[in-house]
Structure 1
Amino acid sequence: MIGMCAASLFIGADGFAYPFQGNYSDLTISHHPNFMWIRESLARWGVVPLWSPLILSGYPFSANPLSSLFYPPAWLLWVLPLPFGYHLVSGLHLLLGGWGTARLVRRTTANPIAAWVGACLFVLMPKVAAHIGAGHLTLVWAVCWTPWLMEWVEQARGQARFHWQPNLMVGMGLGLAALADVRWAAYCGLYMAVMYGWSALQGITSSRKAGGKAVLDAAWVLAKGASVQVGLAAAAAAAVLLPLGEYSRLSTRAAMSGADRLAFSLEPGRLLNLVVPNFGGYAEWIFYPGIMAVFLAWVGVFSQSNQRQKWIWAAVYVFALMFSLGDRLPLARVLGELPGLNLLRVPARALFFADLAVIVLAAIGLSGLLMEPPHKSRWLNLTLAAWGGTLGVFGLGMAAAVRPVPAAFVWAGVLGIVCALLIFLRLYGKIRPLPWLGIVFLVILGDLLLNQRSLMRYRTEIEVAREGAAAAQYLAAKPGIFRIYSPSYSIPQHSAAAYRLELADGVDPLQWDAYAEFFDSASGVPRSRYGVTLPPFAEGEPAAANRFYTPNAERLGRLNVRYVAAEYPLDAEGLILDRVIGTTWIYENTLACPRAWVESAESPDCTAGSKAVRWVRREPNQIWLEVQGPGLLVISEMDYPGWQVIVDGAAAEEKTAEGVFRSVKLTSGTHTVQWVYRPTWVYAGGVISILSLAGAVFGLMVTRKEPGNG
């Protein structure tokens, strides 16, 4: 049944997932081009690419978490047919998340039926569907590890003495979440800090009567466990964390303001979406868990069993909801400056924890209602009646008074009355458990499936491939090595990757700061704050947002931009109209530099020295040139840390030209020049990750044989 629920997301999935009301998806903007580049590198050169020339005039691919190079389940996408592979890998992760939710619920309530329903609630969660539609693959994959991590945290918190096994499991779980999406691992770390902080307070309180030694012992167990967990998680994710740390420090993200870090905070008015579905809404603000789940969770709060657990999960829900409000709360910007927390650019993603808390509380409530005889509470009866009555009156009143009829409010009103009646029927024993359970599950299924379908859609592979294809195909037929710039995103990144075109612009959360500054002067489009696009699109659709800015052809030329594609005419010195294809104006840059040239002390002209360079080999992680000296060999490639230059078989001193380009001084004669990308932090991180994960697996095998080992 859980598998059928997971499959519901991919029924009719004959293409790429998109938001129901949106034209852009991170799947086709970032993930699909990245996997195409990995597959091409493996097929053509037999190497795993550590550098990518696809966007931003080249960037450290291995330092970008969106490359998924170091997340083992993503390796399936190196060989599976696409886009089918995306659906399969995401579906397997949903099954993993559902299974983990069932285990988490079983730890809270021993009822297997409640665990099974909780798993289905996770798999059918509208927020998961919304993020799949938005193309946030790595986030969804990481979230699916979260129920497992939460269950392992509960095991570790419950130990009176230190044991290796639960702490190793928590460390591995957090490490795997970080390998999937390091940003989500920061949310998990915040959750763990809150839970262990609560455990510390409980331990101190309960141990106070036993004396100071008991307090110290409890604190030592907690501190030792937390150290093992965090240390193992950091080591397991070192392949991502070390290169990312270097890249982040050098990127535009390092200059993010407090306002940037709290972007996409939940608006207080959207708290209503707990019980009113946000049909077709924005993924970050979705947190509707289903009205039946909310009602069951409310019953769980009044349950006489699981007293300690229910209040923990209620507290998790309240904390997650408050955190999601971001800049609406005092001290939020101060917290946003703390190491690790500065990764939490979207506070509303904490709503995943709110939904998980509702699921666990709903399972507690469901378990209680399935028991004989059911427990009745006067306050529960009154509040349930108030919930159902308010939703019914408000929803049906909106239907009568507002035009057009707000479907979400009507749905909430009708379903609220139905859910309240069903719970009252069970509370007073008017219906037997199994028939009641069947009706409840059908209500949950209908509610959440309808929400899923309102939050995502699939665009066919042919439809997506057509975007910018005519212009991309035309430019791909041009001879030589060159880049393209589009101030209007006329050639989407997936189309550029499909036709092996290289872009000077790009969409990515990480951008090398030195390059961004150079690009600002080339594009003529100013940046006022942190953004994920270069150039920025300040307002409206990208097709028209930058129409009033004039590019600098000479500066673009230094980036080897030979062609500019725009959805509007351009009037810039150095650009001549080449052709209009559909709605796209294609200009040739007469001031374009070759990809590599030799400058003399007398003349820095890039075209005069272009004939002195012959390309021998060009691969993802290295390039070979045959160059006639003397002079300064400049290559229009980013001089990012990790690139090493070898001249005639010997290491040479690399220089940085114009603040961004790689260059090297050559003497007279013909030289063989090799640039090799050997990122130290990537290699070091990879070794640390492999050794730590292998060590953790060995440790788990040993502690399974000796469960009492402390």
Structure 2
Amino acid sequence: LLPLAELAMRSTRQAAPGYDFAARFSWPPGYLLTLLAPNFFGEPMHTGYWGDGIYDEFIFYIGVLPLLLTLLGLRLRHRLTPFLAALGLGALLLALGEYGSLHPLFYRFVPLFRVARAPARAGFLFTLAGAALAGLMVTTLQSSAEDEDGERTRLLEPLRRSLVLTVTGGTLALIVACFVAFAWGREANPAAGRLWHTANQAALFLLFFLLAASLLVAWRNASRPPIGMWLLALGLVVLDLWTFGSSVIEVRDVQESAYWRIVAQAVSDPQAARVLPWGLSDFEQNGGIPFELRSVFGYDPLTLQRYEEFITSRPDPRARTYDLLNAGYLVTTAPQEFPDGPDAPRLLLEQSGVWVYERPTALPQAWVVPQIEVVDDANTILARIHEPDFDPRTTALVESVLECKDTTVSPTPPVHGGEREVEIVHYGGNRIEAQVRGGGGLLIFSEVDYPGWQATVDGNPTRLVRANYLLRALCVPAGEHLVVLAYNPPLLKLGSAITALALLSIIGVAVWATRRSRGTV
């Protein structure tokens, strides 16, 4: 949680435009009907989905029998009942988002709610609370076999004939109304088919409701319920949830992206340079991962604010910001016209509506510059990067003066000191190793600066600095050196320690409570 909080505070969510963003994908009140009939508003696999929001995140169906047990379980005399009731009700109220009053209060007073969206996801806590209450209810019903204290009768007392008849009559009326409306409007209105689907969903709910009510009434009236009663309940729940889940879950082979397969044909070494997929939709951005292609963009709900500002500072596929990000390839879905010149992108491949260009101005994965330019304002640095007289191959922009050997501060002429060569010998998500040879200076990696990264030169810890608004950099002396960047975040260690202490505390309390209950303490 601590690393996630750190990421969220540095992401674009921190600059989110107010409550409208946080309230996106709120759970509409009408979706209370889906607690009874999950596909009341359709489903995406067969009939189509005409509800609001994302189907997978808006349906909190636990089954008709578990829902009845949950509601009846509110009468349990158990220490967990108030907590589970508050959790379930609070989750639904929070899921309502902008349609309720609880989420605005959380947004205002609870940390991190300002950077989170999709309030409907809180509804999954309702499914947890419902499952727990239903389980406690079944345990209590089975344990009171003789019902000498009348507990089983008391718990199931609200399940009267009048309630069953009322629910049955109301559902039958809805079914008839839907079928009649469908018959009248099916030729004039193409959407009338939804009424047929709604009637079927209501009929399915009624079936499982009558089965569940019959089982609970039999449970209540039996003088000594058979041990297999809970097996019947389990079977009914499985049948109910299987009827729901099997219609919306379909196992398919994941189809590789034709777009990225074409790109992979043109990119000879995916590790040597990144790809700039220009004009590609957000949901297709990650399709290059199976081909080990590294994209400048990508789809991620938590994008770093500084990175977003960097890549959007100039919306031009020839922008210098993309050079700094090692974008060696430009991919488009339409042909591009570039002025003639040695720095213009060159077409490598055109196939099936995909154009792949090579960007000769892209910088390597790492390079050494002999000169630094101190600019104490981040926005000025970003503007300076795009100025024609700025050469990122010889100069780095930093926010404070560095004591870096073999470098000079602009406007002093740069120190030459011979050729400077950087070879990446290992590239991984959490560790990068580079062999540096020749003249010293400021070594810049085409990698995003982020807390938790640590650097060593020949095994000696070295301070990392931010260069060119976004990138990791460190000073290296002249000669041959092994530079290692490793991700070793202190917050992860702190979070792991807190988790371990919490687990040990829970185990200790459980052992103490067990011994106390046995009278050994």
The one-letter amino acid of 1:394's match is: L
In structure 2, the partner of 1:211 is none
State the 1:660 CA deviation: 0.8
State the 1:245 CA deviation: 3.6
The one-letter amino acid of 2:485's match is: V
State the 1:252 CA deviation: 2.2
Match for 1:614 among 414, 418, 422?
A: 422
Residue 284 to residue 649, structure 1, CA distance change in 2 (3 Å) = closer
Give 3-state SS (helix, strand or coil) of 2:255's partner: helix
Give the Cα–Cα distance (whole angstroms) in 1 for the partners of residues 131 and 459 of structure 2: 62
**2:22–2:113: 8 Å Cα contact kept in structure 1?**
no
Give the Cα–Cα distance (whole angstroms) in 2 for the partners of residues 457 and 486 of structure 1: 31
**2:286–2:299: 8 Å Cα contact kept in structure 1?**
no
**Where in structure 2 are the equivalents of 1:670-685 lying within 5 Å?**
670-672=479-481, 674-677=483-486, 678-685=488-495
Q: Deviations over 1:224-273 (max 9, x none)?
A: xxxxxxxxxxxxxxxxx343343333222333333333332101222221
The aligned length equals 439
Give the Cα–Cα distance (whole angstroms) in 1 for the partners of residues 262 and 2 of structure 2: 39
State the 1:467 CA deviation: 5.2
In structure 2, the partner of 1:637 is 447
Is 1:319 the counterpart of 2:90? The answer is: yes
More deviation, 467-476/485-494: 485-494
Give 3-state SS (helix, strand or coil) of 2:202's partner: helix
Give 3-state SS (helix, strand or coil) of 1:521's partner: coil
Give 3-state SS (helix, strand or coil) of 1:287's partner: coil
Is 1:474 the counterpart of 2:260? The answer is: no
Q: Deviations over 1:399-449 (max 9, x none)?
A: 332231546522332234334544665677699766987776555333311
State the 1:388 CA deviation: 2.1
State the 1:518 CA deviation: 0.4
Q: Which has the higher contact order (CA 8 A, sep 6+)?
A: 1
Match for 2:199 among 410, 424, 427?
A: 410
State the 1:386 CA deviation: 1.8
**Where in structure 2 are the equivalents of 1:169-248 lying within 5 Å?**
241-248=1-8
Is 1:498 the counterpart of 2:498? The answer is: no
The one-letter amino acid of 2:107's match is: G
The one-letter amino acid of 1:323's match is: L
The one-letter amino acid of 1:473's match is: A
Give the Cα–Cα distance (whole angstroms) in 2 for the partners of residues 408 and 277 of structure 1: 12
More deviation, 579-588/377-386: 377-386
Structure 1 gaps of 5+ residues are 1-240, 525-549
Give the Cα–Cα distance (whole angstroms) in 2 for the partners of residues 483 and 363 of structure 1: 52
Match for 2:311 among 515, 519, 525?
A: 519
In structure 2, the partner of 1:252 is 12
The one-letter amino acid of 1:599's match is: V
Match for 2:121 among 349, 353, 374?
A: 349
The one-letter amino acid of 1:605's match is: D
Q: Deviations over 1:484-516 (max 9, x none)?
A: 122415995765333332221122233222222
Instruction: With the length of structure 1 as denominator, give the TM-score of the two structures.
Output: 0.53
Residue 393 to residue 400, structure 1, CA distance change in 2 (3 Å) = same
Give the Cα–Cα distance (whole angstroms) in 1 for the partners of residues 200 and 77 of structure 2: 32
Is 1:589 the counterpart of 2:375? The answer is: no
Residue 703 to residue 443, structure 1, CA distance change in 2 (3 Å) = closer
In structure 2, the partner of 1:392 is 172
Give the Cα–Cα distance (whole angstroms) in 2 for the partners of residues 268 and 588 of structure 1: 52
Give the Cα–Cα distance (whole angstroms) in 1 for the partners of residues 445 and 83 of structure 2: 58
Give 3-state SS (helix, strand or coil) of 2:111's partner: coil
State the 1:659 CA deviation: 1.0
In structure 2, the partner of 1:293 is 66
**Where in structure 2 are the equivalents of 1:152-163 lying within 5 Å?**
none
**1:521–1:552: 8 Å Cα contact kept in structure 2?**
no
The one-letter amino acid of 1:250's match is: R
Give 3-state SS (helix, strand or coil) of 1:266's partner: coil
State the 1:478 CA deviation: 3.8
Give the Cα–Cα distance (whole angstroms) in 2 for the partners of residues 491 and 335 of structure 1: 30
The one-letter amino acid of 2:127's match is: D
Match for 1:447 among 235, 240, 260?
A: 240
Residue 343 to residue 696, structure 1, CA distance change in 2 (3 Å) = farther
Q: Deviations over 1:441-490 (max 9, x none)?
A: 55533331121123332222xx4345545225314424871111224159
Give the Cα–Cα distance (whole angstroms) in 1 for the partners of residues 133 and 493 of structure 2: 44
**1:627–1:672: 8 Å Cα contact kept in structure 2?**
yes
In structure 1, the partner of 2:37 is 276
Give 3-state SS (helix, strand or coil) of 1:336's partner: helix
Give the Cα–Cα distance (whole angstroms) in 2 for the partners of residues 693 and 361 of structure 1: 25
Residue 263 to residue 424, structure 1, CA distance change in 2 (3 Å) = closer
In structure 2, the partner of 1:566 is 332
In structure 1, the partner of 2:438 is 628
**2:24–2:117: 8 Å Cα contact kept in structure 1?**
yes
In structure 2, the partner of 1:381 is 161
Residue 308 to residue 500, structure 1, CA distance change in 2 (3 Å) = closer
In structure 1, the partner of 2:104 is 333
State the 1:325 CA deviation: 0.5
Q: Deviations over 1:540-568 (max 9, x none)?
A: xxxxxxxxxx5344321121101122334
Give the Cα–Cα distance (whole angstroms) in 1 for the partners of residues 136 and 464 of structure 2: 64
Instruction: With the length of structure 2 as denominator, give the TM-score of the two structures.
Output: 0.70
Give the Cα–Cα distance (whole angstroms) in 2 for the partners of residues 654 and 259 of structure 1: 38
More deviation, 387-396/242-251: 242-251
Q: Percent identity?
A: 24
- The answer to which structure has the higher helix fraction is 1
Structure 2 gaps of 5+ residues are 50-54, 183-191, 373-388, 396-417
More deviation, 345-354/365-374: 365-374
Give the Cα–Cα distance (whole angstroms) in 2 for the partners of residues 495 and 427 of structure 1: 50
Residue 424 to residue 518, structure 1, CA distance change in 2 (3 Å) = closer
The one-letter amino acid of 2:93's match is: M
In structure 2, the partner of 1:529 is none
In structure 2, the partner of 1:162 is none
Residue 578 to residue 489, structure 1, CA distance change in 2 (3 Å) = farther
Residue 665 to residue 401, structure 1, CA distance change in 2 (3 Å) = same
Give the Cα–Cα distance (whole angstroms) in 2 for the partners of residues 575 and 676 of structure 1: 32
**1:575–1:590: 8 Å Cα contact kept in structure 2?**
yes
Give the Cα–Cα distance (whole angstroms) in 1 for the partners of residues 355 and 231 of structure 2: 59
Is 1:576 the counterpart of 2:362? The answer is: no
In structure 1, the partner of 2:317 is 551
The one-letter amino acid of 1:513's match is: Q
**Who wins on radius of gyration, i.e. which is larger?**
2
In structure 1, the partner of 2:408 is none
Is 1:605 the counterpart of 2:391? The answer is: yes
What's the C-alpha RMSD, in Å, of the aligned pairs?
4.1
**1:317–1:355: 8 Å Cα contact kept in structure 2?**
yes
The one-letter amino acid of 2:89's match is: V
State the 1:601 CA deviation: 4.1
State the 1:637 CA deviation: 1.5
In structure 2, the partner of 1:197 is none
Q: Deviations over 1:302-328 (max 9, x none)?
A: x6x648876765554333221110122
Residue 377 to residue 474, structure 1, CA distance change in 2 (3 Å) = same
Give the Cα–Cα distance (whole angstroms) in 2 for the partners of residues 377 and 480 of structure 1: 68
Give 3-state SS (helix, strand or coil) of 1:404's partner: helix
